[in-house]
Amino acid sequence: MMKTIQIIVAFFIGVIAHAQSLEDYVAIAIKNNSNIKVAQANLALTQEKIHEVANLDNTNFSLGIFATTPETRVGSQLFKAGVAQKLPWFGEFKTKRQAVEALAETKKYAVSLSEKQIAFEVKKAYYAIYQQKAITAILKVDKQVLQTYKAMALAALSNNRATMSDVLRIQVQINELHRTIYQNKNSIASMDANFNRLLQREESVPVQVPDSLHISNILVQKESVNEHPSVLQLEKMDSVYNLQKKLITIDQKPKISLGLDYVLVNKRPVEDLAFNGKDIWMPKFSLAIPIFNKKYSSQYKQIRIRQAALEASVINQKNTLEIALEQALLDFDNQLLSLEAAQQNKREIQQAIAVDLKGYQTGILDYDKILRLQLQKIKYELEEIEAIKKTFIAKAKVEYLTE
């Protein structure tokens, strides 16, 4: 029963893995990635802070009992109680909320940046796995071709139309392909495990890539990097600084506080005394003015310095992204040229092989030449796969920088 369940689970895992596309893998990585979760937590904390800033300061309550009861005309004072509340300046709460909301926007861009980064890493790893699996498939086919040549050479050896040297040279190349195929299989197993680690899921889950990728229908064009999250995050910080400057201006305003004191008065043992034992109520109004406080001008200057540095950071970040975009576009164009050259060379080598193989029908075949041509064909096949991988990675880089 347990074995049956394991087979069913394995079957469904295989079906799910087979159905997963590159977009699915990116979605899984974004969902599971720890850095993104940290960025999302920072965003949630900042958004929650909005509820914190728009609140009155604590209400102050006081109570004092007179150690020696001072006498007044209307009686002795027993204790004094009071309450006071500091009031915000006009627009203070609104500005604080706006400042925290603007800061939360920068955290949103941090989340977007983390998502773009992990998406690009997944795509790079995906195309690298595609390359290794495609190489393995190519080498297996070429190994079969070389084995056919070996069989031809052995058949020709008995008729003195080939030498043992021809057979051995072919066998050496078969051995080399065999070694490379198994090295590739080991590399693929390691790359699959690392890919699953990147997705932060079980390392044993199969990774599926297509047998072929088609270049003909992909295009890239130079677009602006101004919408990149790293740029938008820096630009949004300028709004945060402006609101902080506004808060400093508000903070320089006089601080108003309203309160009320109450004093309990004991009655005097005197008859017909007006207001005898009458308690005391005293409304209070206080005004705090920062006459000698220089911290606000210092804070304002600090923010202006940060804004100047921020402006330079925006320019530097845009330049960095522009340089990276120009390089990615150049890589894309160059890899297309490499791909076209590899495909053309591969076709022409195959034609040359076909011409030479016709000599086998007449009993004359230059095994050294045919082996050399076959190895050249393998070289161009591998260059083709390399160019395809790099073309898609360059496209992914352009998408990372612009979309």
How buried is 216 (Cβ within 10 angstroms: 0-12 exposed, 13-18 middle, 19+ buried)? exposed
Secondary structure element (H or E) that encloses residue 80, with its range: strand 75-87
Q: Would you call 284 helix, strand, or coil by DSSP?
A: strand
What would the 3-class secondary structure string for the chain be?
Answer: CHHHHHHHHHHHHHHHHHHCCHHHHHHHHHHHCHHHHHHHHHHHHHHHHHHHHCCCCCCEEEEEECCCCCEECCEEEEEEEEEEEEECCCCHHHHHHHHHHHHHHHHHHHHHHHHHHHHHHHHHHHHHHHHHHHHHHHHHHHHHHHHHHHHHHHHHHCCCCCCHHHHHHHHHHHHHHHHHHHHHHHHHHHHHHHHHHHCCCCCCCCCCCCCCCCCCCCCCCCCCCCCCHHHHHHHHHHHHHHHHHHHHHHHCCCEEEEEEEEEEECCCCCCCCCCCCCCEEEEEEEEECCCCCCHHHHHHHHHHHHHHHHHHHHHHHHHHHHHHHHHHHHHHHHHHHHHHHHHHHHHHHHHHHHHHHHHHHCCCCCHHHHHHHHHHHHHHHHHHHHHHHHHHHHHHHHHHHHC
pTM value is 0.83
Out of 85-89, 115-119, 388-392, pick the least confident.
85-89
Q: How far apart are the first and last CA of the chain?
A: 51
Residues 243, 98 contacting (CB under 8 angstroms): yes
Tell me what pLDDT residue 85 has: 85
Reported as a pLDDT band with limits 50, 70 and 90, residue 275 is low
Architecture of the domain spanning 19-55+88-254+289-402: Up-down Bundle (1.20)
Instruction: Pick the closest to residue 365 from 118, 228, 170 (CA basis).
Output: 170
Reported as a pLDDT band with limits 50, 70 and 90, residue 386 is very high
Domain ranges of the chain: 19-55+88-254+289-402
349-372 mean pLDDT: 85
21-42 mean pLDDT: 95
Q: Which residues on neighbouring strands pair with residue 65, listed in sequence order?
A: 79
266-289 mean pLDDT: 76
Q: To the nearest whole percent, how much of the chain has pLDDT over 70?
A: 91
Average pLDDT of every residue of the chain: 87
Residues 170, 153 contacting (CB under 8 angstroms): yes
Out of 11-20, 98-107, 156-165, 356-365, pick the least confident.
11-20
Report the amino acid identity of residue 270: V
